[in-house]
């Protein structure tokens, strides 16, 4: 926590903040918050980010945002909550800021969990952070392979139920009778083959979270039973008479258009409102292209066997992967990399090692040399290598690249 004046200067900091940001010979007191945590020399809102201080000043009330901070450990996601200090004349004279490092997502290559730092990813993460602490049902909406299960796990881990179980139910593979016995369990003798009592997943999830993946696939008859469970908070084992109390937080996901299904009668409206209390839209990979290099590093790190040389993508490969449309999102990226590794004998993943669906390869429609200015600028901004590598990836000489950069106002 820190206390600041309205000039963004840090007046006081607690031990945790100092431990994080103060280094010998570089104390934090008296310095601007944006210089310490962002390495900017202007306030965040002038550097293209949302500044909670400006909002809190304007509204004379608290404000909360998700930021990426530059810590000695590298960039990290931080949940920032700012409260104004208001004097007797109703003037804002300072702020108290509480910063909380988010552990369930990483802004640098990581061998586990969610990674990302693009605006689209940060937005979804910010929503997750807001809802996690409550017991509200969460609905994750996104194309296949966008990380719905990882997000669901992150909701659980960021919640008060983190120490409880996280139970995944894939609804798409379950028939009606199976759904009921899986979810609620059954008593001995409930049906042929029920030779002993079986505990259901709802019971297993006591104190934790249930993730219903592909909830749009639940048949209508089962939707009634699910609704009853959610509304009453109780259930009965199949063949049982005793009522049990349920204690779980519900996270659901689907890539189906639930609203349209409600309209045509294949999904119950009452259930829809129950489970859709807090929808979070997960961006497709093509909406967060700037995360692609980070994701590639993370996924290659994950696939690496100890003792083997580390794999990396050449600049040309990176260029191709950034341009591709990724209909299968991160799962497809993971598969493409896993296959490419088998061909990259020297650890370098080259364009010929990639198996991309050519119909969606943007470069097939758009020769790199002939890119228009807007696409060119966008491409340059996303590129993380050196200038030489950039020229190579575009098939330009360094001199031509230099002229093109200059003509677009990029130095």
Ligand X SMILES: Nc1ncnc2c1ncn2[C@@H]1O[C@H](COP(=O)(O)OP(=O)(O)OP(=O)(O)O)[C@@H](O)[C@H]1O
Calpha distance 40→23 (Å, rounded): 17
Q: What is the DSSP secondary-structure string of 101-116?
A: E-SSEESS--SSSEE-
Contact segment (CB under 6 A) with ligand X among 122-130, 146-154, 173-181, 260-268 equals: 146-154
By residue count, the chain amounts to 411
**Candidates 51-59, 96-104, 122-130, 142-150; binding stretch for ligand X (CB under 6 A):** 142-150
Q: Judged by CB under 6 A, does residue 115 bind ligand X? A: yes
Q: In the structure encoding, which two tokens stand for residue 336, read together?
A: 């493409």
163 vs 152: CA distance, rounded Å: 15
CB of 250 to ligand X, least distance (A): 16
| Stretch in the footprint of ligand X (CB under 6 A) among 35-43, 148-156, 187-195, 244-252 | 148-156
Question: Distance (Å, rounded) from C-alpha 63 to C-alpha 80?
Answer: 8
Within 10 A of 217 (CB to CB), how many other CB atoms are there? 16
Min dist. Cβ of residue 337 to ligand X (A):
11
Residue 114 binding ligand X, by CB under 6 A: yes
Rounded CA-CA distance 54/228 in Å is 46
Out of 43, 147, 185, 208, the only residue in the binding site for ligand X (CB under 6 A) is 147
Which residues ranging from 290 to 349 are in contact with ligand X (CB under 6 A)?
295, 298, 330-331, 334
The token pair at 329 is 């999102």
The CB-of-332 to ligand X minimum distance in angstroms stands at 9
DSSP string, 225-238: HHHHHHHHSEE--B
Q: Kindly state whether residue 281 participates in binding ligand X, applying the rule CB under 6 A.
A: no
Nearer to ligand X, 159 or 297 (CB): 297
User: For ligand X, which stretch binds (CB under 6 A), given 53-61, 112-120, 123-131, 228-236?
Assistant: 112-120
Shortest approach of ligand X to residue 15 CB, angstroms? 32
Confirm or reject binding of residue 145 to ligand X (CB under 6 A): yes
**Cβ of residue 263: shortest distance to ligand X, in angstroms?**
23
Reading the block at residue 12, the tokens are 């006081």
Give yes or no for a contact between 33 and 10, defined as CB atoms under 8 angstroms apart: yes
Q: Which stretch binds ligand X (CB under 6 A): 36-44, 68-76, 147-155, 377-385?
A: 147-155
- With 0-12 / 13-18 / 19 or more C-beta atoms within 10 angstroms meaning exposed / middle / buried, residue 18 is middle
Q: How far apart are CA 229 and CA 236, in angstroms?
A: 9
Compose the 34-73 pattern: x for residues touching ligand X by CB under 6 A, - for all others: ----------------------------------------
In whole angstroms, how close is the CB of 113 to ligand X at the nearest point?
7
Q: Cα separation of 361 and 184, whole Å?
A: 46
3-state secondary structure of 29: coil
Return the residues of window 158-217 that contact ligand X according to CB under 6 A. 213
By rule CB under 6 A, what string of x and - marks binding of each residue 240-279 to ligand X?
---------------x------------------------
For the chain, give percent helix, strand, coil, nearest 5.
Answer: 45, 20, 35
Member of 148, 161, 289, 404 binding ligand X (CB under 6 A): 148
Cβ atoms of residues 32 and 8 within 8 Å:
yes
Number of amino acids touching ligand X (CB under 6 A): 18
Report whether 157 contacts 104 (CB < 8 A). yes
Report which DSSP code applies to 298. Answer: H
Nearest-CB residue to ligand X?
Answer: 147
Record the tokens describing residue 293, joined without a space: 């290099």
Q: Which is nearer to ligand X, 146 or 317 (CB)?
A: 146
Considering the complex, what minimum distance in angstroms separates the CB of residue 290 from ligand X?
13
Q: Which residues bind ligand X (CB under 6 A)?
A: 114-116, 142, 144-150, 213, 255, 295, 298, 330-331, 334
């Amino acid at each position: 926590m820190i206390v600041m004046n309205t000039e963004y200067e840090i007046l006081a900091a607690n031990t945790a903040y100092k431990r994080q940001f103060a280094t010998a010979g570089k104390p934090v007191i008296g310095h601007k918050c944006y210089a310490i945590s962002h390495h900017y020399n202007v306030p965040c809102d002038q550097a293209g980010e949302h500044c909670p201080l400006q909002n809190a000043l304007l509204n004379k009330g608290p404000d909360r945002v998700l930021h990426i901070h530059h810590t000695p450990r590298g960039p990290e996601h931080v949940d920032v909550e700012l409260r104004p200090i208001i004097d007797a004349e109703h003037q804002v004279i300072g702020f108290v800021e509480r910063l909380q490092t988010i552990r369930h997502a990483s802004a640098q290559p990581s061998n586990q969990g969610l990674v990302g730092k693009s605006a689209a990813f940060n937005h979804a993460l910010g929503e997750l952070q807001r809802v996690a602490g409550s017991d509200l049902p969460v609905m994750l909406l996104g194309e296949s392979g966008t990380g719905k299960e990882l997000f669901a796990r992150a909701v659980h881990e960021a919640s008060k139920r983190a120490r409880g179980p996280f139970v995944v139910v894939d609804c798409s593979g379950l028939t009606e009778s199976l759904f009921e016995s899986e979810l609620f369990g059954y008593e001995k003798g409930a049906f042929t083959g029920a030779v002993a009592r079986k505990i259901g997943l709802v019971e297993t999830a006591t104190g934790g979270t249930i993730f219903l993946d592909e909830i749009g696939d639940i048949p209508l008859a089962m939707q009634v039973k699910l609704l009853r469970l959610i509304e009453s908070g109780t259930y009965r084992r199949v063949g049982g008479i005793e009522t049990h109390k349920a204690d779980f937080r519900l996270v659901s996901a689907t890539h189906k258009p639930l609203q349209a299904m409600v309209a045509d009668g294949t999904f119950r409206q009452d259930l829809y409102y129950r489970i859709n209390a807090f929808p979070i839209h997960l961006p497709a990979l093509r909406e967060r292209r700037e995360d692609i290099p980070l994701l590639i590093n993370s996924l290659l790190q994950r696939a690496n066997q100890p003792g083997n040389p580390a794999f990396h993508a050449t600049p040309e490969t990176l260029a191709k992967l950034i341009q591709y449309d990724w209909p299968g999102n991160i799962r497809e990226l993971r598969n493409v990399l896993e296959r490419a590794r088998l061909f990259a004998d020297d650890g370098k993943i080259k364009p010929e090692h990639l198996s991309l669906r050519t119909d969606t390869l943007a470069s097939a429609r758009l020769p790199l040399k002939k890119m228009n200015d807007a696409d060119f600028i966008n491409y340059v901004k996303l590129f993380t290598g050196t200038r030489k590598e950039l020229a190579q990836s575009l098939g330009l000489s360094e001199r031509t690249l230099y002229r093109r950069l200059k003509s677009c106002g990029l130095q």
